[in-house]
Every structure is written in structure tokens, then in C-alpha cells.
Amino acid sequence: MRRLGALAAAVVLTTAGCAGAESGSAGPIVVGSVNALSGAATFPEASQAAKAVFDAANAAGGVNGRQIEYKALDDKGDPAAAAAAAREIVGGDEAVALVGSSSLIECEINAEYYEQQKILSMSGIGVDPACFSSPNIAPVNVGPFHDMTLSLLYGSEELGLTDICALLEIAGNTLPSYQAAIDEWSAITGKKLKYIDATVPYGGSDYTSYIVKARNAGCKAITVNPVEPDSIGQLKAAQAQGWTDVTWLLLTSVYSENYAKAVSNAGAGVYVPAEFYPFTDAGSPQNKDWRELMTKNGIPLTSFSQGGYLAAKYFLDVIRGIGGEITRESVTKALREMKPISDPMVGTPYVFGPGESHHANTAGWPVKLTTGTNRWELAAGDWLRIPARN
């Protein structure tokens, strides 16, 4: 990750001084986002959903008579492209803010640049640790680290599981954050993991050896932070070993219709704390407006599109309250001073605020995938929240 930081710093030096956006205008309000739209792991739905929200606002007359011009650039999962995209939006297009970004790397690459340029980013889906530790970035989602704490809490406190283990897939500098998430669970419950293996690779061709070691360690439940293909491979490896009574405590990263269709044997069940109100509950009033807008625009119904939708919705709520001109300076001030916004799609209010870090979303709604069903079901009747500690 040092290489990524050095690369970003180099780009900063070559583009410093390009930013402006301090003056008001009667023209469009430029809003941007940096996203993984191509590459090995993509998240196109977040920016698509944000654009749909802004298009609907424009069709209704815009904000104080001004249209939103939304620019969603592709970082391709590449550090240089992520740095260049941010500089094009912030320095070239003079955006007033970034809204709905979704990327594996862009927070780590661009956090310092956003601070230098005094611009704020409301990510739709924050992934890497820098998304939750920067004063200028405040994702609307729970994020993988709180997600893991919630998954462990549900397993131990609601399901009453014992002998819980962890298989961690570590990219970049994420291990300390996952360890902190596990430590948070231990501090709340007084319990410890039976076994932990932080050497599990992303995109592994065969997970048998990791599964065998976990089974031999006496694990009865396993928390993992996988992407969908990896989790499917891990469940198949357990099934091949005849290990069908293990409970899987996973993250929102596998909560999709395609994953459910691909899993025939889920062991003793796959449990996920959905970061937004479960989108698979088709008749829910909580998701009604989001579902109708996504369906109208042909955007997939996923957690990622929920994040982009909420980021744009929160942003509009805030800038509609700005009394004077809408500029980067006035938007930044409004987001820093905003009151918390509640929404039925999330369990905790959203606020940007003046803090040095932002990780306000601490609730998930448990869902379950049972062997042989190929569909997700609600596993609880209310939000599961991480208890506040002094």
C-alpha cells in the first residue's frame, strides 16, 4: 500500500493548484464519483443509482432552479486511474462534492487529496479502511469492519453459537481493521474466537486446505469476509469434506440473488447482517421508493444500488437547505453542520459532521440462506445494532 500512497502523492504534485470551485454559478451543479466500473471487481450499481436520483431531481426542476450534472468515472481498480479520476472531477470539473462512489481502492488513494482540496465525499459503498478514517469521506454503508462485528454478534448472541472461528481474506492494509472488528465483538461479549486464519487468499482455486484446518480446529461456525466466488468455493470445499453442520457468518458482500442461486448446500445456514433494509423482501415499505426508481431505470436491485441511492438522497436533502449559492465551500459547510438524517432503509441515522473519521452506520438486518432453498429470508424482525461503549 506504500506504493499506492507514493503514486497518489506523485499525482498530487503534478496537479496541485488545479482546484477551484469556490465561486457560485447559475450553471449546473457538478457532482462526481470515482468507481470500479471495470476490472476484476466492479460496483457499477452505486453510481447508476445516484445518477437515477439526480435525474429524477432534475426532471422535477433541479435544486433552486439548477440542474445536477453527475460525472461517474471509472478507476478500473487501478491506483493511477483512481488518482487521475479524482483529479479530473475535483480539479478539472470543479465538482462541489463526490457522491455515491464505490471502489475497492479509491479512498486509500484519494483521501489526502480530498483533504488538500477541501472537498467532501459521501461514498455509496465504502470498502477500504481509509473510507472510514478520513475527515473528508463519510460512506453511507456499514462497511466490512462493522459488518464483521455484527455478523459475530448475531452468531454468538442471537444464534447462541460457540466455537466460532474466522477465515480472513486480507487485501492491502485491512488486517488491523478486521482484527479491530473482532476485538470489538470480544469487548462486547467477553468471548474469543476459537481459531483464526488470516492467510486465506482472494480468488483461490482450492480452499480445501483452509477448510480442513478449520474443521480440525473444532470450529462449529465460521465468519469470513469473502467475495461471492470465493465464498461459493469455500462452501463447496466444506461440502466435499462432508462438513455440512457448520454455520457461515458472512458479510453483505455475498448478499445477492446470484449468490443464493449458486449455493445448493449452505451447511447449517449462511447468515448475513444486510447493511441496508433487505432488498429481497420485495413488498417492504422501507424499500418501496428505491425499488420503483431502480426498476424504472433498469438498475439491478442490490445492496450497492441501495448505497448509491441513499448517498444521493442524503446529499439532496442537505444542499436544498443551503440559503445562498451552492459551491464547494457552501456544500462542505452544510455537510459539516448537517443534522442526522433518518431513513427506513438503514438502522442508524446518517450524518457527515466535523469529525476526523466517520463510521456512523452501525446496524444490519440479519438475513438467512438455508440449504436447498436458493433464496434469502429475513432472519430477524428488527435491526441488529452494535452497542455503544464508553
Q: Where are the domains of the chain?
A: 29-143+283-359, 144-274+365-385
What CATH topology corresponds to 144-274+365-385? Answer: Rossmann fold (3.40.50)
**Residue 90 half-sphere exposure, CB side, CA atoms within 13 Å?**
29
Cβ contact 57:63 at 8 Å:
yes
Strands (E), the chain: 29-35, 68-74, 97-99, 121-122, 164-169, 195-200, 221-224, 247-249, 270-274, 363-369, 376-378, 384-385
Can you give the pLDDT at residue 360? 82
pTM: 0.89
CATH class given for the domain over 29-143+283-359: alpha beta
- Rounded Cα distance between 349 and 339, Å, is 9
- Rounded Cα distance between 315 and 99, Å, is 7
Hey, is 249 helix, strand or coil? strand
- Measure Cα distances from 320 to 162, 330, 340, 350 in Å: 50, 11, 15, 17
pLDDT per residue as tens, the chain (390 positions): 333 333 333 333 333 333 334 445 679 999 999 999 998 778 899 999 999 999 999 999 999 899 999 999 999 989 999 999 999 999 999 999 999 999 989 999 999 999 999 999 999 999 999 999 999 999 999 999 999 999 999 999 999 999 999 999 998 889 999 999 999 999 999 999 999 999 999 888 999 999 999 999 999 999 999 989 999 999 999 999 999 999 999 999 899 999 999 999 999 999 999 999 999 999 999 999 999 999 999 999 999 999 999 999 999 999 999 999 999 999 999 999 999 999 999 999 999 999 999 988 999 999 999 999 999 999 999 999 999 866
Q: Do domains 29-143+283-359 and 144-274+365-385 have the same CATH topology?
A: yes
Can you give the pLDDT at residue 157? 98
- Rounded Cα distance between 294 and 155, Å, is 32
